[in-house]
Structure 1
Amino acid sequence: MMNNEYRTLARLFHADRSGDSYANHDLLASQRLGANSTFATGITTPLGELFVATPRRISMLTQRILLAERRISDMWQSIPGVMQWNYITHAVSEELFATNEMEGVRSTRKETEAAVAVAKQAKTQGDARKARFGEFAKLYLNLTDRNIALPKTLEDIRSIYDKIALDEMDDKDRPDGELFRKGDVEVQGPHGTAIYSGVSGEARISALLAQMIDLAKSDEMPFLQRSIASHFLFEYIHPFYDGNGRTGRYLLALYLSHGLTIPTVLSISRTIAENKNGYYKAFTEAEDKLNCGELTFFVSTLLMLIERAQTSLIDELGVKIDQLGKAGDLRDELENELKLSHNATCLLYAVMQEELFDTTKSMTLEEAGADLMLTKQTMRKYVEELDRAGLIEFTGRRPLRFGASESLRGKMGVAVNDDLNKQAERAMPRI
């Protein structure tokens, strides 16, 4: 008699010492696929028909994730827009860096931060400047639009790939079919060893991708399970010679953005990168032919990674909310002490948030105006007001940039950056 542990079909087969192990294995695989609690995809591969069962572990993980999402949503709504955007831009930069690192694409945090800055300018102000990874960053920033569409056609998949990976591809690795690769490819694991050969033939690639597109929006499977199963299918198909990992993880984020909070979605690639051995192992197990197309354990692994991302996120947001509360108390004290105008007080709070949560720790007149919904010209007098009060200092001329002064940083308990001070002394523009 079996114990209550839900184990892979492969493990059960290897543990069966009877003379009927093959027949027992086939019977159990058929029972799992046909069970009332199983979600079959209808997608047939050499592994078998892909399906996800619902053992107790999946149910409990799903419940914990949904409860954590409620908490994250409450925390997210409690912080102002400036801090939200600062968090988002930093998270996108980290996502780009993490997913590039997993695929061996050389990039620096300075490059990914610059890409996000350009993408943000393009999104908010229609700026047409270009940057390395700029289109990739724009895709991730677009996840903040709650109604962003899922891919509907094979051309949509190719368009996403082009924005993510094409500029980084050697000529030999570019797609040579009508939309995808027409040759074969070997999928390598974390140690550079071949673990799987992708689907052969562009016609078969296209057919399976069309089924993936339908699966990702299907109402016949729970949201989390279908999103993760679609991610597996994309990586199993491996439609390109290179860039599949980055494209697949973006698609996973896109699918999950239709049901999870944006902070959770923007922390998934980073969490996967931190746990990449377990992530790759989940693919290896799912692709074992003895598991007959069962994705239950792959889904379980990805759910655990989502839960782990949520746990870190809750801790991180908790610290930031505590810092924000202290900054709010200081803002109120300075408003009363220095008799600041309402708009200058709002700008001061934005400057304090930049100091606490943004990597650049400064802002331009345009950025400040966008945050306060005031014109650049109107912002000048409030910048002057904070300058006279000794609460800001200037860090650049073209464009004019300003951030928290040494005095304000001291009041906030933030370590003073000597290099920033020297830069400010050299710049010191007048407005």
Structure 2
Amino acid sequence: MSMEYRTLARLFHADRSMDSYANHDRLVRQRLEADSTFTTGIGTPLGELFIATPRCVCMLTQKVLLAERQVSAMWRSIPGVMRWNYIYHAISEELLATNEMEGVRSTRKETEAAVAAARQARTEGDMEKARFGEFAKLYLNLTNRDVELPKTLEDIRDIYDKIALDEIDDKNRPDGELFRKGDVEVQGPHGTVIHSGVSSEARISALLAQMMDLARSDTIPFLQRAIASHFLFEYIHPFYDGNGRTGRYLLALYLSNDLTLPTVLSLSRTIAENKNEYYKAFTEAEDKLNSGELTFFVYTILGLIERAQESLIEELGVKIDQLDKATVLRDELRREHALSTNATLLLYAVMQEELFDTTKSMTLEDAGGDLMLTKQTIRKYVDELAGASLIEFTGRRPLRFRASGALRTRIQAKREWGME
């Protein structure tokens, strides 16, 4: 990490004098009492948790916020059908990445089915139990701008139940009132203990209450407080199993008020791709010699957010480019087949599905929802496109359709034409 700012532990090890302990204590006090330090008031065996604001953190924060403006502008330029497809796909990938980090076996097929079930529940208020379906529903809730942050200990337990309970062995289920009663150790890859969770349910509950206050605090900048809350949740480790997935969802939730949805939804994937760096940030923050300083932890997670944004900007750039070509093709086809306005809108939706969706077929409900028309009305335009051989039916009950072979060939030709 190219930081001129150094951890208290490194400074202590570099101090060859006889007074290294006294010097260390003095440095800890200096950092804690500096004007540019945010203290949390949360006492732990490591010391009071605090975040300093060295230059590198300021610069990285600025980078993240400027990238957010770019992501936001790109996101707004994308039409609704594609935006939702992107969200569904991102949630499915997010579940996959966070499960994989915890060693929970899940396939892309399962996570896609979970998201499909959650979508259905959203529109029809009913849901067959898909594996990870509740988990998918939580991520889908992040699309509501006013999604509630947990306020009570019961809220946290409720989130945990939806995310992890179905996947937890009976012996690892919470055995306290809400959390675990016994102690828990987290082992590293070689069986060494890298972390011991907080002891006693009373202490777990007290610290979680402080975590919820911290996440809402208006005296600490939002990125810093969301990231510090994430550290605290994993440090407390309130459950025997499933803490990682629950903590990463809470991080997404805490960030979702202030960052764009695509950024928030691509974070677990970026963390999974850089998991050694992510775990190292925890180990460093828990070094006793760092005395509760979370500055480096904040810096690492900000760096991961920035990386998520970088790949997102690239990904959205490609999609916007494809969309521009699809618009040109849509107008050509409208003239060739003398399509009505609504049939043209439907054609555009079908083309977006073809370009950006994993499932690649639409129902009358999907189409009606996209164009704000009833099922009966939309039927007419579906027939119009079928008559022009622009769509083909993939199912009759319910009626499902997608771009026809001829249309797919035209889309493909346009895509390749743009790749020179």
| CA deviation string 1:57-87 (max 9, x = no partner) | 1000100010011111110000110000000
Letter in 2 for 1:73: S
Alignment match, 2:83: 84
The 2-side partners of 1:74 and 1:190 are apart by 42
Alignment match, 1:16: 15
| CA deviation string 1:104-132 (max 9, x = no partner) | 00000000000001101111232322200
The 1-side partners of 2:63 and 2:290 are apart by 27
User: Is 245-254 or 394-403 further displaced after alignment?
Assistant: 394-403
Alignment match, 1:291: 290
Q: Are the equivalent residues in 2 in contact too, given 1:190–1:280 (CA < 8 A)?
A: no
Structure 2, unaligned runs of 5 or more: 415-420
The 1-side partners of 2:363 and 2:413 are apart by 21
Determine helix, strand or coil for the equivalent of 2:247: helix
Seq. identity, %: 81
- 1:375, distance to aligned residue in structure 2 (A): 1.1
Alignment match, 1:241: 240
CA gap of 1:198–1:362, structure 2 versus 1, over 3 A, is same
The 1-side partners of 2:126 and 2:405 are apart by 32
The 1-side partners of 2:188 and 2:158 are apart by 26
- 1:161, distance to aligned residue in structure 2 (A): 0.2
User: Is 378-387 or 228-237 further displaced after alignment?
Assistant: 378-387
| CA deviation string 1:232-268 (max 9, x = no partner) | 0000000000000000000000000010000000000
Letter in 2 for 1:33: L
The 1-side partners of 2:215 and 2:308 are apart by 22
CA gap of 1:384–1:193, structure 2 versus 1, over 3 A, is farther
The 2-side partners of 1:86 and 1:229 are apart by 32
The 2-side partners of 1:414 and 1:129 are apart by 40
User: Is 330-339 or 223-232 further displaced after alignment?
Assistant: 330-339
Alignment match, 2:228: 229
Alignment match, 2:166: 167
| CA deviation string 1:273-293 (max 9, x = no partner) | 000000000000000000000
CA gap of 1:192–1:348, structure 2 versus 1, over 3 A, is farther
The 1-side partners of 2:283 and 2:265 are apart by 25
The 1-side partners of 2:189 and 2:218 are apart by 34
Letter in 2 for 1:262: L
| CA deviation string 1:146-188 (max 9, x = no partner) | 1001000000000000000001111100000000000000113
Alignment match, 1:395: 394
Letter in 2 for 1:362: S
Does residue 181 of structure 2 align to residue 182 of structure 1? yes
CA gap of 1:249–1:407, structure 2 versus 1, over 3 A, is same
Q: Are the equivalent residues in 2 in contact too, given 1:53–1:296 (CA < 8 A)?
A: yes
Name the Cα RMSD after superposition: 1.3
Count of residue correspondences: 413
Alignment match, 2:113: 114
User: Counterparts in 2 of 1:354-393, with a 5 A limit?
Assistant: 354-393=353-392
CA gap of 1:191–1:395, structure 2 versus 1, over 3 A, is farther
The 1-side partners of 2:130 and 2:14 are apart by 54
Q: Are the equivalent residues in 2 in contact too, given 1:189–1:280 (CA < 8 A)?
A: no
Determine helix, strand or coil for the equivalent of 2:164: helix
Letter in 1 for 2:336: E
Letter in 2 for 1:112: T
Alignment match, 1:409: 408
Does residue 26 of structure 2 align to residue 27 of structure 1? yes
| CA deviation string 1:192-227 (max 9, x = no partner) | 532011000000000000000000000010000000
Alignment match, 1:348: 347
CA gap of 1:265–1:190, structure 2 versus 1, over 3 A, is farther
- 1:398, distance to aligned residue in structure 2 (A): 2.3
The 2-side partners of 1:13 and 1:124 are apart by 58
Alignment match, 2:197: 198
Structure 1, unaligned runs of 5 or more: 416-431
Alignment match, 2:154: 155
Alignment match, 1:422: none
The 1-side partners of 2:96 and 2:332 are apart by 39
Alignment match, 1:61: 60
- 1:189, distance to aligned residue in structure 2 (A): 3.0
Determine helix, strand or coil for the equivalent of 2:393: strand
The 2-side partners of 1:367 and 1:184 are apart by 49
User: Counterparts in 2 of 1:35-46, with a 5 A limit?
Assistant: 35-46=34-45
- 1:191, distance to aligned residue in structure 2 (A): 5.2
- 1:302, distance to aligned residue in structure 2 (A): 0.1
- 1:414, distance to aligned residue in structure 2 (A): 6.5
Q: Are the equivalent residues in 2 in contact too, given 1:344–1:386 (CA < 8 A)?
A: yes
User: Is 360-369 or 232-241 further displaced after alignment?
Assistant: 360-369
Alignment match, 2:418: none
Alignment match, 1:49: 48
- 1:413, distance to aligned residue in structure 2 (A): 1.0
Letter in 1 for 2:364: L
The 1-side partners of 2:120 and 2:365 are apart by 10
Q: Are the equivalent residues in 2 in contact too, given 1:186–1:197 (CA < 8 A)?
A: yes
Q: Are the equivalent residues in 2 in contact too, given 1:396–1:402 (CA < 8 A)?
A: yes
Does residue 306 of structure 2 align to residue 307 of structure 1? yes
| CA deviation string 1:395-421 (max 9, x = no partner) | 122222110111001111179xxxxxx
Determine helix, strand or coil for the equivalent of 1:413: helix
TM-score by length of 2: 0.97
TM-score by length of 1: 0.94
Alignment match, 1:426: none
Determine helix, strand or coil for the equivalent of 1:44: strand
Q: Are the equivalent residues in 2 in contact too, given 1:351–1:404 (CA < 8 A)?
A: yes
